[in-house]
Amino acid sequence: MERIYFDHAATTPVSAEVLEKMMPYFSENFGNAHSQHNFGRNAIKGVDDARSQVAAAIGCRPNEVYFTGSGTEANNWAVKGTAWARESKGRHIITSKIEHPSVLNSCKWLEKHGFEVSYISVDKDGTVSLDELEKAVRPDTILISVMMANNEVGTIQPYKEIAAIAKKHGVLYHVDAVQAVGAIKVDVNDIGCDMLTLSAHKFYGPKGVGALYIRNGLKIEKLIVGGGQERAMRGGTTNTPAVVGLGQAIENAVKNLGSYAEHCRNLRDRFIGRVEKEIPYVKLNGSRTNRLPNNANFSFEYIEGESILYRLDLAGIAVSSGSACSSGSLEPSHVLLAMGVDIVLGHGSIRFSFGKDNTVEQIDYAVDKLKEIVKTLREMSPLFNWKDGEKENI
């Protein structure tokens, strides 16, 4: 059976070119990037090159790039590090209700330690309310953290407008761009952000490595203290192979951005078009127009997302229900709830996220399977009440 992977928002495979670039750093170039001998210098060279590759990709200077152990760490660092550095100025932070758990839980943690957080609402498409956001700004607001694009429903946020609001009020703006890199243009000056998070495994790089862009001149507290690594801003021996992989992956992602986005958009639009035409009682979650090129998220009325996921998996098709981080629990997604999606509908939601190796044939096969699965599950569903005598037509 062919295995079909439609879960690129959860993670992507390491591309062959990236893997090849990484390999020598496990063997002959194994040195500690902090050592002052030839072995160390070889490792440093790999790390320096990667830093330049990241800088070129997001339009900043190499000394504004700090490598971390994940996107999660970079988000924790941006939020907590800003809070700790600016608490004498104020203890209020603004974020949105649909952030990744690494931002939301950093904010929740800070709330336990005397900070106040405003969680801004989103509309039914999952777009953050600019009006509410601006009204939430107070004299003691020190940080706005709102993502560039949502990982569950793919909605792209009005990041430039958010940056403008932050700037107008003298507040720092951190953007979680983990889902955006490789899918849409990510340029720190175009965005107007002070900090930006990215993670290699979302764009065909290795897992367990990310980066935080921190604008020159901006001082935030350290999250991980130790030796003097990352210009004394992040302790821990540099994961050289992973960092080298991140550098190559982001260079490739930016080089291929146009064709990659177009490839994914074609697949996504074919998928959305067929599902909406051929499967009744479905709802596309997220913005129809302002969404990541590789994301489709559907609610299927009257049935459980988990049951669809399980049957698609049996058919060799890998998708995600809710978000990968929270699946396994039967809690409805915080993103769908914030968008006002009915709880029952939320339970029947599935994220399909496409990537470079997916094909039109896979899309067609998946839609055919999905049709069968949805029909079978609805026939079994106590929720489906055969309305309008449409039994033939589910």
Ligand X SMILES: *Cc1c(COP(=O)(O)O)cnc(C)c1O
Task: Determine the Cα–Cα distance for residues 214 and 191; give it in Å rounded to an integer.
Answer: 14
Exposure string for 359-388, b = 16+ CB within 10 A, e = fewer = eeebbebbbebbeebbeebbeebeebeeee
C-beta of 323: minimal distance to ligand X in Å?
Answer: 8
Task: Determine the Cα–Cα distance for residues 94 and 132; give it in Å rounded to an integer.
Answer: 10
Asked if 147 interacts with ligand X (CB under 6 A), we say: yes
User: Of 261 and 344, which has the nearer Cβ to ligand X?
Assistant: 261
User: Of 90 and 158, which has the nearer Cβ to ligand X?
Assistant: 158
User: How far, rounded to the nearest angstrom, does the alpha carbon of residue 60 sit from its chain's CA centroid?
Assistant: 20
C-beta of 11: minimal distance to ligand X in Å?
Answer: 7
The residues in 165-184 that bind ligand X, with binding defined as CB under 6 A, are: 176, 178-179
Asked if 70 interacts with ligand X (CB under 6 A), we say: yes
Is 264 an annotated catalytic residue? no
C-beta of 313: minimal distance to ligand X in Å?
Answer: 21
Q: Element (H or E) spanning 159, and its range? A: helix 159-168
C-beta of 387: minimal distance to ligand X in Å?
Answer: 37
Contacts of 171 (CB under 8 A, 6+ apart): 94, 137, 141, 142, 143, 144, 165
Binding mask 182-221 for ligand X (x = CB under 6 A): -----------------x--x-------x-----------
C-beta of 126: minimal distance to ligand X in Å?
Answer: 13
Q: What does each C-alpha distance from 36 to 41, 48, 233, 291, 392 come to in angstroms?
A: 7, 15, 20, 47, 74
- Residues 60, 193, 264, 325: which is the catalytic one? 325
Task: Determine the Cα–Cα distance for residues 281 and 269; give it in Å rounded to an integer.
Answer: 18
- Listed ranges 66-74, 235-243, 270-278, 364-372: which one lies at the site for ligand X (CB under 6 A): 66-74
Asked if 100 interacts with ligand X (CB under 6 A), we say: yes
273: number of Cβ within 10 Å: 12
User: Of 29 and 106, which has the nearer Cβ to ligand X?
Assistant: 106
Asked if 72 interacts with ligand X (CB under 6 A), we say: yes
Total residues contacting ligand X (rule CB under 6 A)? 14
Contacts of 211 (CB under 8 A, 6+ apart): 54, 65, 66, 67, 68, 74, 197, 198, 246
User: Of 71 and 247, which has the nearer Cβ to ligand X?
Assistant: 71
Residue spans of beta strands (DSSP E) within 34-167: 65-68, 92-96, 116-120, 141-145
User: Of 70 and 106, which has the nearer Cβ to ligand X?
Assistant: 70
What are the residue numbers of the active site?
Answer: 325
Q: Under the rule (CB under 6 A), what is the footprint of ligand X?
A: 70-72, 75, 100, 102, 147, 151, 176, 178-179, 199, 202, 210
